Structure 1
């Protein structure tokens, strides 16, 4: 199972904004999956498991914004693992497309080619 999970994660090259504790921060996304993300925590910010936040992914070279409601699941050193708790349908489509493109699974993009 762990090996499978590694393959479903991908780096993210765009900009990411985290709203936590009533403040907006720029963060770096270390890896991204359909159900969650690993980010660097903003300097001087302490996050705790169970804390809710909002992550906005801004795709490079487009005006697409993917809003993701999340909850902190784990904190290690200067990183936080967030689990997505609410994703609207448009955001889910953009996220799936982004992951498919990064993972080289173009067949996920076209319903006509989804036979597996």
Structure 2
């Protein structure tokens, strides 16, 4: 099967919280890109495609939080694929830096510093 993704994905090791359905959940981010994330849903939580949510990433060993407004694109068993629909400038900068560090892309880091 041909890979359809346009954005490289990387694992995320930090803490993540999902605000959905008026509740805040701890979730695991299985992979992350500039445009979305794949997360595990807590037991008993179901989400539907098109549902709005907010994912907050907490960077390990720092006070940096990356707030990401998202929409559920797909679900399967206990997984949800999220598409980021709004990211502020600071959050995008932190997200780009995180991805560049994980993917070893120095050019992404230097472009971010210009």
- The TM-score range, normalised by the shorter chain, is over 0.9
Please give the residue correspondences for 1:60-75 in structure 2 after superposition, counting only pairs within 5 Å: 60-75=60-75
Runs of 4+ in 1 over 4 A off after TM superposition: none
What's the offset of the Cα at 1:42? 1.2
TM-score, structure 1 length as denominator? 0.91
Where do 5+ consecutive residues of structure 2 fail to align?
A: none
The structural deviation recorded for 1:6 is 8.0
Q: Deviation of residue 111 (structure 1)?
A: 3.4
Q: Where in structure 1 are there 5+ consecutive unaligned residues?
A: none
* Equivalenced residues, count: 113
TM-score, with normalisation over the residues of structure 2? 0.92
Deviation at 1:108, TM superposition (A): 1.3
Name the Cα RMSD after superposition. 2.1
Alignment partners' CA distance in 1, 2:9 and 2:109: 17
